[in-house]
C-alpha cells in the first residue's frame, strides 16, 4: 500500500491542489507525500455518500458487520510493520508503544465483532399482542436499537491508531451500523491514509456500499466545522483539546437539528496517597508515579496530573523518591511542535503562579522533547481558584500537600469531572477511602485502587468517560463494548407485519439475537 496524498471519498481517491506535508515529530522536517486538503465540497460529498449508504449498511446482519470489522483488523495486522514505521516518524512515539497500540486497535475491532455476534447490544424487547386484554387489547410491540445515522470521527493526536481513523469511535459506530466520515488528525496524515485504505478495502471486500467509510484530511479547522454542521451527520466522536472540543460541541448543539457530541476533553486524574499506604511504601509510590507520569511524554488523557497527600515525613520520602526518579527520566519527543510549545508555556505559567514551587524537572532532551516536571502547591492555593486544576498535556503533575484528610475531602469536592480517580491505600486506610468514595463516584468514570490510571483495559466493564469536562457526555464510554450505545437509538414497531419488520425483530429471529419477552430473558 502506498501513500498517495488522496482524500478517500467512498471508493474514490480525490486529489486537491492545496497540499500539506506531514512533518517528523522529532525535528519538524517534512516527511514524504504531500497530502490533499479537503474542501467544503469534499465534506459534503463524503457525508452524502455516508447518508446514501446508511439504510443498507444498518440493515446488514450483525454477523456481516462483525466479519467486516474482523477483516479491518486483519488488514491492520497484515500491514503492521509499515503502519508502525510511519507512525513512529509522524508521532515520535516509540516502537513498543505503537506496536502495542496497533494490537489494541485490532483488539477493539474484534471486541465489537464479538459484541455483534452476541447481539445483546441491540436490546431486543418483544411485548406480544394481548388480543383478549380488557378494557383494550394490547398491540404487538417490538423494540430494537438502530444506528443513529452517519457519524463523524475526529482522530486524536496522541493515539494514531487506537483513537484515530480506525480507532474506538470508528469501530463502535461501524458496529452500530453507522457509516463513518473520519477526519484525519493533521499530525499523522500518512498513518491516517494507510489506515483509511485498510478500512476502505474491508468495505469493498465485505460487499458494503462505498459510503460506509470516507477519510478527509487537512490542517484547517474548517474541515471539522463543516463536518459537524453537515446535515447528514447524526453524531460526533471527538478526542482532543478542551477549547477545540467545546467549539465543536457548540456547533453540534446550534445546528437546526442538534446532534449528540461525544467529546473527551480534559482531565487531571487525581491520585490519592492515603496515609498508611504512603507510610508503608513512599519510595515505591514515588518511583511508580514518575514512571506513569513520564511514559511516552505523559501524552495520555489518563495521565496522573494531580497527587493528593497529607503532609508529613512519609510525604517527604515520596517527594525525594519522585524527584530522584524524575531526574533519571529520559525526555521523550512530543507529538507535535505545537503540543511541545503548549506544554512548555503551560509549565512556565504554572511555575510562576503564586504558591507553586517546582519540586524537580526531568532531563532535558531534543528541541521537541518533553522535559518532565513536578510541581507542588498547598491545598489552600489549589482551592483558591480554578487555575491550578487545569490540564497541561504532557509529563507534568502537581502535588498538593494537605494539612489533613478533611482538607483532602474538601479539595475533592471542588474538582471538575475526571476520567479516573486513584486511591493508593493500605487496609488501615479503608475508613478514609470509604469517606472519599461517594465523591469520587460523582467525579470520575473509573476508580482504581493501588494502580496507575494510564493503562485502559479493553473489556466489557471498562468505562473510559466521566463527568464534564472529562467528557461532554458522562452517560457513555469510548472504550469497551458499552461504547456502541453512543451510536444507537431505540425504535418501536407496533403491529408491523412480519415482512416489514427489521430482521432483528422478525418472529423467526434470523440473526439469533437474545430477546426480552414480556420483560423476561
Q: Which stretch binds a copy of itself (CB under 8 A): 21-29, 78-86, 178-186, 450-458?
A: 450-458
Q: Which stretch binds a copy of itself (CB under 8 A): 206-214, 301-309, 392-400, 497-505?
A: 497-505
Q: Residues with Cβ < 8 Å from 443, sequence gap 6 or more?
A: 412, 415, 416, 417, 418, 421, 466, 467
What is the spatial order of strands in the sheet that 151-154 belongs to?
12-14, 7-9, 213-216, 180-183, 151-154, 235-239, 261-264
Q: Residue 417, interface with a copy of itself (CB under 8 A)?
A: yes
Q: Does residue 285 belong to the site contacting a copy of itself (CB under 8 A)?
A: no
Site mask, a copy of itself, residues 242-281, x = CB under 8 A?
-----------x---xx-x---------------------
Q: Of 128 and 367, which CB lies nearer to a copy of itself in the complex structure?
A: 128
How many CB atoms sit inside 10 A of residue 364's CB?
A: 11
Q: How many residues bind a copy of itself (CB under 8 A)?
A: 77
What are 414's three cell numbers? 471542588
Please identify which residue in 403, 414, 455, 510 interacts with a copy of itself, judged by CB under 8 A: 455
Per CB under 8 A, the segment of 206-214, 328-336, 367-375, 437-445 that binds a copy of itself is: 437-445
Scan residues 18-57 and list those touching a copy of itself (CB under 8 A). 55
Nearer residue to a copy of itself within complex by CB, 155 or 453 = 453
Q: Which of 172, 273, 481, 511 binds a copy of itself (CB under 8 A)?
A: 481
63-122 residues in contact with a copy of itself (CB under 8 A) are: 114-115, 118, 120
Q: Which stretch binds a copy of itself (CB under 8 A): 3-11, 274-282, 308-316, 466-474?
A: 466-474
For residues 398 and 420, what is the distance between their CA atoms, to the nearest angstrom?
16
Note whether 463 binds a copy of itself by CB under 8 A. yes
Q: Is 475 in the site for a copy of itself (CB under 8 A)?
A: yes
Task: Determine if 385 is a binding residue for a copy of itself (CB under 8 A).
Answer: no
CB nearer a copy of itself, residue 398 or residue 470? 470
Stretch of 153-161, 324-332, 353-361, 483-491 lying at the interface with a copy of itself (CB under 8 A) = 483-491
Binding to a copy of itself in span 203-242, by CB under 8 A: none
Entry field: residues in the chain: 521
Nearest-approach distance from CB 211 to a copy of itself, in angstroms: 15
Q: Give the nearest distance from C-beta 495 to a copy of itself in angstroms.
A: 5
Print burial letters for 424-441: b (CB count within 10 Å at least 16), e (below 16).
Answer: bbbeebeebbeebeeebe
Candidates 168-176, 237-245, 316-324, 448-456; binding stretch for a copy of itself (CB under 8 A): 448-456
Based on CB atoms, which residue is closest to a copy of itself, 253 or 363? 253
Closer by beta carbon to a copy of itself, 16 or else 489: 489
Tell me which residue has cell 431505540: 490
Q: Which stretch binds a copy of itself (CB under 8 A): 81-89, 204-212, 394-402, 494-502?
A: 494-502
Catalytic site residues?
264, 301
Which of 114/353 has CB closer to a copy of itself?
114
Nearer to a copy of itself, 250 or 348 (CB): 250
Residue whose CB is less far from a copy of itself, 35 or 122: 122
Burial classification of residue 112, based on how many CB atoms lie within 10 Å of its CB (0-12 exposed, 13-18 middle, 19 or more buried): buried
The most distant pair of C-alpha atoms in the chain lies apart, rounded to whole Å, by: 80
Q: Is 444 in the site for a copy of itself (CB under 8 A)?
A: yes
With b for 16 or more beta-carbon neighbours within 10 A and e for fewer, the 459-474 pattern comes to eeebbbbbbebbbbbb
CA dist list (Å): 438 to 18, 34, 434, 451 = 53, 52, 8, 19
CA geometry: angle 44, 49, 50, nearest 5 deg: 95
* 286/466 with CB nearer a copy of itself: 466
Residue 437 contacts a copy of itself per CB under 8 A: yes
HEC string of 37-81 equals CCCHHHHHHHHHHHHHHHHHHHCCCHHHHHHHHHHHHHHHHHCHH
**Which position among 27, 330, 461, 507 is part of the footprint of a copy of itself (CB under 8 A)?**
461
Residue 410 binds to a copy of itself (criterion: CB under 8 A):
no
Query: At closest approach, how far in Å is the CB of 55 from a copy of itself?
Result: 4
**SS3 of the chain: helix, strand, coil, percent, to 5:** 45, 20, 35
Which candidate, 183, 115, 60, places its Cα nearest to that of 483? 115
Report CA-CA distances (Å) from 234 to 53, 107, 120, 173, 260: 14, 26, 23, 11, 7
| CA-CA-CA-CA dihedral for 79, 299, 215, 219, to nearest 10 | -130
Q: Is 490 in the site for a copy of itself (CB under 8 A)?
A: yes
The Cα-based distances of 389 to 246, 306, 399, 417, 514 in angstroms read 18, 8, 11, 11, 45
φ and ψ at residue 323, rounded to 5 degrees? -60, -45
**Using CB under 8 A, which residues numbered 118 to 157 contact a copy of itself?**
118, 120, 123, 125-127, 136, 138-139, 141-143, 146, 148-149
d(CA 319, CA 321): 6
Amino acid at each position: 500500500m502506498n501513500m498517495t496524498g488522496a482524500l478517500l471519498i467512498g471508493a474514490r481517491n480525490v486529489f486537491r491542489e492545496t497540499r500539506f506535508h506531514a512533518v517528523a515529530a522529532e525535528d519538524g522536517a517534512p516527511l514524504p507525500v504531500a497530502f490533499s486538503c479537503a474542501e467544503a465540497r469534499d465534506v459534503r460529498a463524503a457525508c452524502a455518500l455516508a447518508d446514501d449508504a446508511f439504510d443498507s449498511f444498518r440493515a446488514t446482519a450483525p454477523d456481516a458487520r462483525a466479519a467486516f470489522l474482523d477483516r479491518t483488523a486483519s488488514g491492520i495486522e497484515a500491514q503492521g510493520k509499515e503502519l508502525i514505521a510511519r507512525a513512529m516518524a509522524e508521532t515520535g512515539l516509540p516502537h513498543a508503544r505503537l506496536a502495542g497500540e496497533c494490537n489494541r486497535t485490532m483488539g477493539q475491532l474484534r471486541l465489537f465483532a464479538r459484541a455483534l455476534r452476541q447481539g445483546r447490544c441491540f436490546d431486543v424487547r418483544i411485548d406480544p399482542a394481548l388480543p383478549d386484554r380488557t378494557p383494550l387489547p394490547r398491540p404487538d410491540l417490538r423494540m430494537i436499537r438502530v444506528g443513529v445515522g452517519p457519524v463523524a470521527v475526529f482522530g486524536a493526536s496522541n493515539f494514531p491508531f487506537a483513537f484515530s481513523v480506525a480507532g474506538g469511535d470508528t469501530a463502535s459506530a461501524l458496529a452500530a451500523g453507522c457509516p463513518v466520515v473520519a477526519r484525519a488528525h493533521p499530525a499523522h496524515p500518512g498513518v491516517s491514509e494507510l489506515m483509511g485504505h485498510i478500512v476502505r478495502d474491508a468495505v469493498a471486500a465485505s460487499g458494503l456500499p462505498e459510503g460506509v467509510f470516507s477519510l478527509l484530511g487537512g490542517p484547517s479547522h474548517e474541515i471539522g466545522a463543516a463536518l459537524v454542521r453537515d446535515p447528514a451527520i447524526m453524531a460526533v466522536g471527538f478526542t482532543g483539546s478542551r477549547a477545540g472540543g467545546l467549539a465543536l460541541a457548540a456547533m453540534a448543539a446550534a445546528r437546526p437539528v442538534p446532534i449528540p457530541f461525544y467529546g473527551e476533553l480534559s482531565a487531571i486524574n487525581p491520585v490519592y496517597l492515603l496515609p498508611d499506604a504512603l507510610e508503608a511504601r513512599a519510595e515505591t509510590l514515588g518511583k511508580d508515579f514518575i514512571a506513569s507520569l513520564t511514559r511516552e511524554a505523559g501524552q495520555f488523557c489518563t495521565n496522573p496530573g494531580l497527587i493528593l497527600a497529607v503532609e508529613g515525613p512519609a510525604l517527604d520520602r515520596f517527594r525525594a523518591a519522585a524527584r530522584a526518579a524524575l531526574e533519571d527520566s529520559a525526555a521523550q519527543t512530543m507529538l507535535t511542535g505545537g503540543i511541545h510549545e503548549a506544554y512548555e508555556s503551560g509549565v512556565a505559567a504554572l511555575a510562576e503562579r503564586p504558591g507553586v514551587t517546582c519540586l524537580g524537572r526531568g532531563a532535558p532532551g531534543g528541541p521537541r522533547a518533553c522535559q518532565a516536571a513536578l510541581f507542588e502547591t498547598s491545598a489552600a492555593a489549589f482551592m483558591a481558584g480554578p487555575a491550578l486544576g487545569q490540564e497541561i498535556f504532557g509529563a507534568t503533575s502537581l502535588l498538593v500537600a494537605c494539612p489533613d484528610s478533611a482538607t483532602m475531602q474538601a479539595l475533592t469536592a471542588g474538582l471538575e469531572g475526571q476520567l479516573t480517580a486513584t486511591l493508593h491505600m493500605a487496609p488501615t486506610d479503608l475508613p478514609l477511602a470509604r469517606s472519599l468514595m461517594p465523591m469520587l463516584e460523582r467525579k470520575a468514570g473509573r476508580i482504581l485502587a493501588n494502580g496507575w490510571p494510564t493503562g485502559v483495559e479493553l473489556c466489557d466493564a471498562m468505562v473510559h468517560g466521566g463527568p464534564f469536562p472529562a467528557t461532554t457526555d458522562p452517560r457513555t464510554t469510548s472504550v469497551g463494548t458499552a461504547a456502541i450505545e453512543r451510536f444507537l437509538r431505540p425504535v418501536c414497531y407496533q403491529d408491523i407485519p412480519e415482512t416489514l419488520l427489521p430482521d432483528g425483530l422478525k418472529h423467526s429471529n434470523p440473526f439469533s439475537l437474545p430477546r426480552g419477552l414480556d420483560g423476561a430473558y
